[in-house]
Structure 1
Amino acid sequence: MSTTDTRPVTPTSAEVPDGGIRHHSKRGPAGRALTWTQVRAALPAALRKLDPRLLSGSPVMFVVEVGAALTTVLAVIQPDVFAWWITVWLWATVLFATLAESVAESRGRAQASTLRATQQQTTARKVAAAQDTLDTGTRLDLLPTVEVASSSLQVRDVVVVEAGETIPGDGDVIEGVASVDESAITGESAPVIRESGGDRSAVTGGTVVLSDRIVVRITAPAGSTFVDRMIALVEGSERQKTPNEVALNILLTSLTIVFLLAVATLQPFAVYSGSRQSLLVLVALLVCLIPTTIGALLSAIGIAGMDRLVQRNVLAMSGRAVEAAGDIDVLLLDKTGTITYGNRRATEVLPVGSIGPRDLAAAARLASLADETPEGRSIVDLVDATYASSGGEPDELPAGAELVPFTAQTRMSGVDLPAGDGGRGVRRIRKGAGSAVQRWVHSTGAHVLPAEEAELAAHVDAVSRLGGTPLVVAEQVGEAPARILGVVRLKDVVKTGMRERFDQLRAMGIRSVMVTGDNVVTARAIAAEAGVDDVLAEATPEDKLALIRREQEGGRLVAMAGDGTNDAPALAQSDVGVAMNTGTSAAKEAGNMVDLDSDPTKLIEIVEIGKQLLITRGALTTFSVANDVAKYFAILPAMFVGLFPQLGVLNVMRLSSPESAILSAVIFNALVILALIPLSLRGVRYRPASASSLLQRNLLIYGVGGLVAPFVGIKLIDLLVSLLPGL
């Protein structure tokens, strides 16, 4: 299909007619956070992770493994039932920690297996012409092609893909429009439209063209495509510890060193008190006192947070981005395609002064021929449909005409027509945002008549108050001052359910800002209908970037969603930049997250997942520190009650014997890790609330729970352990 095709773009899979908010597919396991099948599949990897070289990355668990190895030696030298039970449960503690990480990673491997199925060696039809001859205006799909292997494609190679063929590599559509099946990547069965000249130009290797023909310029070499990066990310091979995770690791390491020194000083007292297997008991004490619970689950929590995003078809390029999402203060959202349905449509022309509707429509059409945006194409569609039905013929471009394409900086498009028979000079027509066109008109020395200015203002105000977007059309003939011809109405429709979404954001303490190129009146009308907190109107890429920097200078974290090349600078500057999979390659490279469903409203879910990650880490850290208190009451009396009978009053749990008390504490310490693996994978449930409310809830449930649970758990285990022979 040629580039002059102006059929309206159909909604993407993210724009479904079920109320505006799509239902996201879950690519990962849902429901139960941990199954026996997952445990069995992850067990071999967990055993491999017992390698000290691998475990050294977690200082807490490395100390536990060293302790387990030491007790193994002691049990061999002095065989004893008590020593062997302690040794077994210390090794179990280490194994449960590696199992937690392995189960989390196994989900990523399952995702990777699905993605690898999309990678296949295909034959690509590469345009044979030299690269420097491909920008001459010739229809690229008519040039000779040669068949090559998809693995041999290089950046900037140009390929032709027809209906039924697999797109051989990542790239941008530079000619044509086609329906593409992306279900292998997104999990969605509904096809999407990919076309040249807009923000839906990016295509992914492994997807299939269903109709028509497109010409694609390759943007990534084989081996570093989007799917390759997805596989590396979901497998965890590129996962790096986040700043908060590193800081918590340092804290846990410091606590471990402190307890190690403290326990070492108890050795003389233990020997003097005649404690049975004194060194073995001290190892057990150390393992129970250091923060083993959070040390064992910390890595799994981070991996699971990224996995929850993958289940919602969002790929985070780093754990830092997921973490930052939980601390977001300001959320920037584009109006079109996010708050409103994509692709505003031209619905009406409103002439000014003595200009007739037909003349205005013809001028608007000519000025829109160079506008490859869906809005520009809709103007051509409107004029063609209107005059075709009334028997008229739309104006065609004469020879020598020069098109002026639309850019985000000028916010105008147009055409320069050669002098006609009258010889009055070049006729320049411009169409675009009202302020931009009026500046152009004034730059020609024109002074708009008060009556025409009032009529123009009335049209703009009427369109804006109804939530539409007014585009102004003007022309200049020769060196005469330009004149305004009228207004084209573009209609926007706010997605249903958006107000409720923004109410959720406010409950989280997040301020929403709608970013649009529309004038202030139009922007505020849409914002009021959608429930947005603030507006940035008539925004250029530089304005977006400046706004983000101002917010960041004020100490706030900013998130933004975008899909166009003009969004790339702002996406790169944002703390959380979510690029749409339907967008351009530049946008996907600039963002630190990619939404495969191309649903910008999913930013709200991303923020919730980020907050859930932070809350889960905080909750389990609180629980881990709190449950150490009960272990003091279990082990210290058991160690020194022979030397200091007065310590018997600390045996509040009335444990059966010193040996059963120590062993019960070690067993509980191991089992609590296993019990918390499902919670670390699923995450603590998040409800929109203030930070103080969340902290209070966290302390009440996991702080108090961490104090009470060990007393109950150790006592119950002691009742069973006391029945073991030899203790």
Structure 2
Amino acid sequence: MQTNTKPRQERKHIRKTNTSGLYSRAFQQAFVKLHPRNMLKNPVMFLVWVGTIVTALVTIEPNLFGTSPGDNPRLFNGLITIILFFTLVFANFAEAVAEGRGKAQADSLRATKSDSTARKLLPDDTTQEVSSTALRRGDRIKVISGDIIPADGEVIGGIASVDESAITGESAPVLKQPGTDIASSVTGGTRITSDELIIRVTADPGQGFIDRMISLVEGANRSKTPNEIALTVLLAVLTQVFLVVIATLPTVSVYVKSPVSIAVLIALLVALIPTTIGGLLSAIGIAGMDRVAQFNVIATSGRAVEACGDINTLVLDKTGTITLGNRMAEEFITVNGHSAKDMAQVALASSVFDDTPEGRSIVTLAEKLGARIDFEPNEAKGLEFSAKTRMSGTDLPGGIEVRKGAVDAIKGFVRSRNGKLTPELDAAFEKVSRLGGTPLALCKDNDIYGVVYLKDIIKPGISERFDQMRRMGIKTVMLTGDNRITASVIAAEAGVDDFIAEATPEDKIEVIRSEQAQGKLVAMTGDGTNDAPALAQANVGVAMNSGTQAAKEAANMVDLDSDPTKLIDIVTIGKQLLITRGALTTFSIANDVAKYFAIIPAIFPEIGVSALNIMGLASTQSAILSALIYNALIIPALIPLALTGVKFRALSADQLLQRNIFIYGFGGVIAPFIAIKVIDVLITAVGLA
């Protein structure tokens, strides 16, 4: 037990070490980000950057752009410069904090990587010790108990337990073996804890799963999402509009004989442009990816996280997502006059080579009824279940064939051997289906013995989750290989909007394309190679970490916990990202109303607008400084909200819009009125204006 839990404990320690001093490092990084190359990426903050330089120049020489009104222009201009400078620092600090949290997670992942020696298998099956960095895609390697797996790969030989706690945080080892979709993929950096494996390497150095995770979590390759780009363009347009308005004010001020200095004009411009959302926009996007990572999900891009917020349709497998996954044999229902013991004997023979949870449960139930193996296993041959035949079973010595599978598939098998079908089989089939179970028919050669009742259990609370999705306007579609009657019972109990019974891998991609043809965005989960086309087709494809390499490469998200229901949580995070961005944009724009009432009456008292000074600000200088100080301080004040996100509520788009306008619209108008007045009182008290 200690061997398994140690990596998890180390990982927690690494996270703690990496996150200590996060804010001090972020504050230092905020000054580094003042380089013009970085500032150009954000047009709103770049304008503030230019304004800071101009006010710094007029602090040195107040009359650089003409005569500056006022008693002590250097002090006033200097205070404006300092406030604008810290506005830039606070905006960069928000982004640096978000990036720092990602880097802390990246450091935790990077600690799992280490150059090690690998046992490379040569063509003659001898081994050669090489550095893990020398391994290439297609190489075969051998790992034994205690080894760190040196590279991503697929298991092609052996059965062993692998400790994946370095990646997933879970200490329980996972059984890995070849030829299965859910247990053949291994990740470099994990540890083999028993036996040995032969692995075929699937990634070149620097291109492995952990390498990609580090790059994406760290944010080095982060590009702006479509919504983020659209909002940036909108903010840039608003900034240009205010820039044109401010550019016309000198002419107006000369006409009304109320001259305005260049520093005041810049202060007015910065106060009116949407600096709050401009400073927090990047941090919101980075924090969205970070929140997904905290759910142990790795997103390949911010685009994937954002797409979750726009999802219209969820396509979900029944088994493991809606139901608990491990269907258990509950009852044997006999037909054609066979006894329960005879049926148990056939059930045992059909499942003796079946290692699935369902197969093992059938063996257990058969043995409880007294069945025993009455043939030599070495002389028998097991047949695995296939989606094409929808059957599995055993070829016994003497040419005897026992099969179990979907009722219609067994019917076809019996007909092909000139067997007879009776109404009893259909009655048993319907009985199990109406109970919401999965019926498996059993036959020996051309004689049907009965139906196995496999019991499905709906996951607790899943119906409420689907009800939340429905209130948000998201359609849920359940895919299952079960017959239509069983599927309809499960669908009704779970509360999904639609279902597809007897689904094949082709049906998955077909339902996705059908929804997309109607202009909808679709999300789905998968773990097998046959899921890869559908995962690639979906707007959001979530692959299970326990799945195949093909599924992981086709998806744009990987769930390290391999929990299919997490797709619902991911959609919630995507919605929260969009809600947060919209809420802070609303708040930022609403702030302009109060700042307008603070500055305009103060700089144009001669033309009769002083009546608009409803806050009763002390002087022109205190009004301008108060508005600018509020404008700077509101950015760090909103960083926690930008990073954690606005609390998610399962509401429709119209309800969310109304709620945002009420809370962040009205709040964005009222809050600055109060804050600017308080700051004005403090400034006046200390004699800065």
Q: TM-score normalized by structure 1?
A: 0.85
Distance in 2 between the 1:513 and 1:404 partners? 32
1: CA distance, partners of 2:20 / 2:348: 64
CA distance in 1, matches of 2:25, 2:438: 56
Tell me the residue number matched to 2:46.
62
129 and 350 in structure 1: CA distance in 2 versus 1, 3 angstrom threshold? farther
Which of residues 679, 682, 687 in structure 1 aligns to 2:649? Answer: 687
Partner of 1:464: 433
Letter in 2 for 1:515: L
2:210 to 214, 220, 227: 227
- Matched letter for residue 570 of structure 2: I
CA contact (8 A) 1:408 1:566 kept: no
1:434 aligns with: 407
Pick from 253, 269, 273 the counterpart of residue 286 of structure 1: 269
SS at match of 1:211: coil
Cα 1:226/1:369, change in 2 over 3 Å: farther
TM alignment of 1:30-429, pairs within 5 A: 37-78=21-62, 80-129=74-123, 144-198=126-180, 199-271=182-254, 278-346=261-329, 349-353=332-336, 374-376=357-359, 385=367, 392-394=373-375, 396=377, 398=379, 405-413=384-392, 420=398
Q: CA deviation at 1:639?
A: 2.3
Instruction: Report 1:283-682 matches (<5 A).
Output: 283-346=266-329, 349-353=332-336, 374-376=357-359, 385=367, 392-394=373-375, 396=377, 398=379, 405-413=384-392, 420=398, 430-442=403-415, 444=416, 446=418, 448-449=420-421, 452=422, 454-474=423-443, 484-642=448-606, 644=607, 646-682=608-644
Q: Which has the higher contact order (CA 8 A, sep 6+)?
A: 1
* Deviation for aligned residue 1:674: 1.6
Separation in 2, partners of 1:440, 1:606: 43
- Higher mean alpha-carbon deviation, 44-53 vs 352-361, is at 352-361
Counterparts in 2 of 1:361 and 1:147: CA distance versus 1, 3 Å: farther
Which stretch shifts more, 175-184 or 265-274? Answer: 265-274
Distance 2:154 2:324 in 1: 23
How far apart, in 2, do the equivalents of 1:470 and 1:376 lie? 13
Secondary structure of the residue aligned to 1:659 is: helix
Q: Which residue of 1 aligns with 2:70?
A: none
C-alpha distance in structure 2 between counterparts of 1:190 and 1:361, whole Å: 34
Aligned to 2:66: none
Displacement after TM superposition at 1:201 (Å)? 2.2
Higher mean displacement: 559-568 or 41-50: 559-568
- Letter of the 1:459 counterpart: A
Kept in 2, the 8 Å contact 1:417–1:428? The answer is yes
Contact 2:14 2:108 in 1 (8 A): no
SS of match in other structure, 1:265:
helix
Separation (CA, whole Å) in 1 of partners of 2:566 and 2:669: 38
Deviations 1:697-725 (A, max 9, x none): 11111000111112111111112222454
Code of the aligned partner of 1:255: L
**Bigger shift: residues 39-48 or 490-499:** 490-499
Does residue 714 of structure 1 match 2:676? yes
State how far apart, in whole Å, the 1-side matches of 2:311 and 2:12 are.
24
Query: 1:172 & 1:702 partners in 2: Cα distance?
Result: 51
CA-CA distance at 1:611 after TM superposition: 1.1
TM-score by length of 2: 0.89
Number of the residue aligned with 1:137: none
Give the Å deviation of 1:127: 2.8
Distance 1:284 1:364 in 2: 83
Amino acid at match of 1:675: A
CA distance in 2, matches of 1:358, 1:125: 51
Moved more, 154-163 or 106-115: 154-163
Cα gap change, 1:373 to 1:520, in 2 (>3 Å): same
Is this contact kept in 1: 2:348–2:373, CA < 8 A?
no
CA distance in 2, matches of 1:41, 1:627: 30
* Distance of aligned partners of 1:55 and 1:495 in 2 relative to their CA distance in 1, 3 Å threshold: same
Tell me which moved more, 611-620 or 346-355: 346-355
**Partner Cα distance (2:490, 2:192) in 1:** 36
Tell me if structure 1 keeps the 8 A contact 2:544–2:563: yes
Which residue is 1:136 aligned to?
none
| Per-residue deviation, 1:235 | 0.3
CA drift of 1:378 comes to: 5.4
Question: How many residues are matched?
Answer: 668
Change (3 A) 1:26 1:635: farther
Paired with 2:358 and 2:157, the residues of 1 have a C-alpha distance of 18
CA distance in 2, matches of 1:247, 1:64: 21
Distance 2:118 2:301 in 1: 32
Higher mean alpha-carbon deviation, 173-182 vs 679-688, is at 173-182
- Residue equivalent to 1:134: none
Unaligned segments of structure 1, at least 5 residues: 1-12, 14-24, 131-142, 421-425, 477-481
Please report how far the alpha carbon of residue 176 of structure 1 lies from its aligned counterpart in structure 2 after TM superposition: 3.5
Q: Residues of 2 paired with 1:489 and 1:146: CA distance?
A: 52
Question: How far apart are the structure 2 equivalents of 1:29 and 1:695?
Answer: 37
Letter in 1 for 2:575: K
The range that moved more, 556-565 or 209-218, is 209-218
Q: Aligned in 2, Cα 1:230/1:599: closer, same or farther, shift over 3 Å?
A: same
CA distance in 2: counterparts of 1:575 and 1:197, whole angstroms: 29
Partner of 1:6: none
Q: Is the 8 A contact 2:543 2:552 kept in 1?
A: yes
Q: Do 2:323 and 2:458's aligned partners in 1 also have CA atoms closer than 8 Å? A: yes
CA spacing shift, 1:391–1:578, aligned 2, 3 Å: closer
Partners of 2:402 and 2:444 within 8 A in 1: yes
What do residues 187-236 of structure 1 show as CA deviations (whole Å, max 9, x unaligned)?
22233333333323222111112233333222222211111111111100
Q: Is contact 1:514-1:527 (8 Å) kept?
A: yes
How many angstroms does 1:153 deviate by?
Answer: 1.9
1:429 deviates by: 5.4
Equivalent residue of 2:609, what SS? helix
Segments of structure 2 that go 5 or more residues without pairing to the other structure are 6-10, 63-72
3-state SS of the aligned residue for 1:722?
helix
Post-superposition Cα deviations, 1:449-493, rounded to whole Å, max 9, x if no partner, equal 4xx2x12112222332333322234566xxxxx554543443333
Cα drift, residue 661 of structure 1: 1.3
CA RMSD of aligned residues (A): 3.0
Percent identity at matched positions? 57
Quickly say closer, same or farther: Cα 1:360–1:174, change in 2 above 3 A.
farther
Q: Find the aligned partners of 2:20 and 2:660 in 1 and give their Cα distance.
A: 29
- Measured in 2, the distance between the counterparts of 1:548 and 1:397 equals 45
161-170 or 350-359, which deviates more: 350-359
Equivalent pair of 2:393/2:403 in contact (CA under 8 Å): yes
Instruction: Note if contact 1:370-1:413 (Cα within 8 Å) is conserved in structure 2.
Output: no
Letter of the 2:601 partner, please give it: P
CA–CA distance in structure 1, aligned partners of residues 373 and 55 of structure 2: 95
> In 2, are the aligned partners of 1:182 and 1:188 still within 8 Å (CA)?
yes
Contact 2:317 2:478 in 1 (8 A): yes
Pair 1:682–1:588, CA change in 2 (3 A): same
Superposition deviation, residue 685 in structure 1: 0.9
Deviation of the 1:497 alpha carbon: 3.0
